[in-house]
Amino acid sequence: MLLTGGTLLRLHPPTLARADLRVEGDAIVARGARLTPKPGEAVEDCRGRLILPGFVCAHTHMYSALSRGMPAPAAPPKSFPEMLARVWWRLDQALNDEAIYYSAMVGAVEAVRAGTTTIVDHHASPNAIPGSLDIIREALGVVGVRGVLCYEVTDRGGLRRRDAGLAENDRFLTATRTDPQFRGLVGAHASFTLRESSMAAVGDLARYHRAGVHIHAAEALDDEQRAKRVHGCGIIDRLERHGLLNDRAVLAHGVHLSARDIARVTSAGAWLVHNARSNMNNAVGHAPVERFGERAALGTDGWPADMLAELRFAHFREREHLGLRQAFPAAALLEGGQALASEVFGVPFGSLSPGSAADLVVCDYVPPTPLTAVNLPWHLIAGVQPTMFTGVMVAGRWVCRNGVAVNIDVDAVYARARQLAAAVWRRMRG
Ligand SMILES: [Zn+2]
């Protein structure tokens, strides 16, 4: 397929260039000023349109898709640990195989509509652990989005479930070692629900697979406080002790990491994922994202995988925090997600150059002011909207056209999702 006449963007450092793109199989194979169509080649006229590399949501929980609008618990949570215990840990316990499948479908549909082509998911379903990552993989595969999946190992359900979680990660990592569309990480909930032997088991598994850990780190203040109280050291010490602090690790939130710990994380090359909306909604505090460095990305932590929406929240929250004295390039976090995906899949994402994954978004954005490489971040924050996306491609295949996910019957999926959500909410109350 040939995409002709579009303006190709790179998000950070921002660049703009008019060029044609040739896609063959799942990759971009050529980029040039005027590529000649080959006989029989499909041509997409992209004149007047922007072509963006597909967005990456670097931390989320797609099972949250069925939680939208659910009734609040009888005793409203007054702290983050109470929020986990009364809302999210009741939700994940109420999931069965079908609820996992449909929540992943809904999450994937919302992702592709928003131009998100890779989802880094952190899954938990304590009453349906074995095979749960395959269920998510199947749902994402049907919609056509890429997934980097893991099962969250935790002690909160006892040793049998902890071991089942480890086994699910192990199985999935083995099954997807060379998969072009899906990869695994070793999922772990958070330091405060993992005893030493569990953290050691996570470390062993990550070493065995040469895979990164995907874990919540210092999301709320209690995580670090508990590590110090129970283990006599901080979260980052614990990760380091178990060989988990390395350049494959994905640490979500980092709200309460000290400047010293952030420096250790960045010097180890671990990824830090900022989740602006979630942090604000859970009132866990302000993440010092201005110190996260180059290996930082953006996640939605259960909110729909609309990365432009997340970008706006990240920008405005940081602007409010820093004031006008220090600029914060929030759009760099979007490019960070693409760099993370590049490392996980071993293929470039984010540059729209030959050899890159053919994951891209065609956008019918008519700028009302001059659009340049320098001011591109402002057009992303203030102008570009998913409703302008005329085509979203993953691995060389259109997955969404003009807001419609093309590989599934969305109305039927949503109708079943509504039924299943009501049943999940009933089980949560029971
Ligand atoms: Zn999370």
Per DSSP, which regions of 313-364 are E strands? Answer: 360-363
Residues 311 and 329: their CA atoms lie apart, in Å, by 10
Residue with tokens 């007047």: 48
Residues 148 and 171: their CA atoms lie apart, in Å, by 14
Residue type present at position 381: I
Taking residues 68-77, what's their average pLDDT? 88
Residues 302 and 232: their CA atoms lie apart, in Å, by 32
Q: Which of the four pLDDT bands, split at 50, 70 and 90, describes residue 83?
A: confident
Predicted model pTM: 0.97
CA of 121 to the centre of ligand 1 (A): 9
Q: Is the pLDDT of residue 87 over 90?
A: no
CA of 193 to the centre of ligand 1 (A): 14
CA of 302 to the centre of ligand 1 (A): 7
Taking residues 221-249, what's their average pLDDT? 96
Give the per-residue pLDDT at 86: 87
Residue type present at position 371: L
Taking residues 39-48, what's their average pLDDT? 96
DSSP of 61-103, one letter per residue? -GGGGGGTTPPPPSS---SHHHHIIIIIHHHHHT--HHHHHHH
Q: Is the pLDDT of residue 76 over 90?
A: no
CA of 6 to the centre of ligand 1 (A): 36
Q: What is the mean pLDDT of the chain?
A: 96
Burial class (CB in 10 A: 0-12, 13-18, 19+), 355: exposed
CA of 216 to the centre of ligand 1 (A): 6
Q: Which of the four pLDDT bands, split at 50, 70 and 90, describes residue 81?
A: confident
Q: Is the pLDDT of residue 70 over 80?
A: yes
CA of 200 to the centre of ligand 1 (A): 21
Q: Which of the four pLDDT bands, split at 50, 70 and 90, describes residue 305?
A: very high
CA of 42 to the centre of ligand 1 (A): 41
Helices (H), 352-403: 376-382
Q: Is the pLDDT of residue 405 over 80?
A: yes
The secondary structure element, H or E, covering residue 316 is helix 307-322
CA of 122 to the centre of ligand 1 (A): 7
Q: Is the pLDDT of residue 430 over 80?
A: no
Taking residues 304-312, what's their average pLDDT? 97
Q: What are phi and psi of 413, to 5 degrees?
A: -65, -45
Residue with tokens 């729909």: 304
Give the per-residue pLDDT at 13: 92
CA of 287 to the centre of ligand 1 (A): 14
Q: Which of the four pLDDT bands, split at 50, 70 and 90, describes residue 151?
A: very high
Taking residues 167-188, what's their average pLDDT? 98
Task: Report the relative pairing of strands 389-394 and 397-401 from DSSP bridges.
Answer: antiparallel
Q: Which of the four pLDDT bands, split at 50, 70 and 90, describes residue 278?
A: very high
CA of 321 to the centre of ligand 1 (A): 22
* SS3 at position 32: strand
Q: Which of the four pLDDT bands, split at 50, 70 and 90, describes residue 317?
A: very high
The CA angle 37-43-45, to the nearest 5 degrees, is 120
208, 214 Cβ separation under 8 angstroms: no
Give the per-residue pLDDT at 429: 83
Q: Which of the four pLDDT bands, split at 50, 70 and 90, describes residue 306?
A: very high
Phi-psi region of 415 (alpha: psi -120 to 50; beta: other; left: phi over 0): alpha
120, 59 Cβ separation under 8 angstroms: yes
- 399 Cβ neighbours under 8 A, 6+ residues apart: 112, 117, 143, 144, 145, 392, 393, 405, 406, 407
CA of 60 to the centre of ligand 1 (A): 6
Taking residues 268-289, what's their average pLDDT? 96
CA of 18 to the centre of ligand 1 (A): 38
DSSP code at position 357: B
* SS3 at position 221: helix
Taking residues 373-397, what's their average pLDDT? 97
Residues 143 and 140: their CA atoms lie apart, in Å, by 5
Residue type present at position 415: A
Strand partners, 22: 2, 30
- 370 Cβ neighbours under 8 A, 6+ residues apart: none
Give the per-residue pLDDT at 43: 97
Give the per-residue pLDDT at 325: 86
Task: Report the relative pairing of strands 296-298 and 43-45 from DSSP bridges.
Answer: unpaired
Q: Which of 339, 336, 363 lies closest to 349 in space, CA to CA? A: 339
Cis peptide before 53 (omega within 30 of 0): no
Give the per-residue pLDDT at 330: 92
Q: Which of 75, 36, 19, 40 lies closest to 360 in space, CA to CA? A: 19
CA of 271 to the centre of ligand 1 (A): 14
Ion ligand 1: residues, Cβ under 5 Å: 301
The CA angle 136-138-144, to the nearest 5 degrees, is 100
CA of 62 to the centre of ligand 1 (A): 10
Taking residues 240-266, what's their average pLDDT? 98
Length of the chain: 430
Give the per-residue pLDDT at 73: 85
- High-pLDDT (> 70) share of the chain, %: 100
Sign of CA dihedral 23, 29, 33, 37: negative
Q: Is the pLDDT of residue 410 over 90?
A: yes
Residue type present at position 365: Y
Helices (H), 26-178: 80-83, 89-93, 97-113, 132-143, 159-175
Give the per-residue pLDDT at 32: 96
| Torsion angle (degrees, nearest 10) of CA 67, 68, 71, 74 | 60
Q: What are phi and psi of 89, to 5 degrees?
A: -80, -15
CA of 368 to the centre of ligand 1 (A): 37
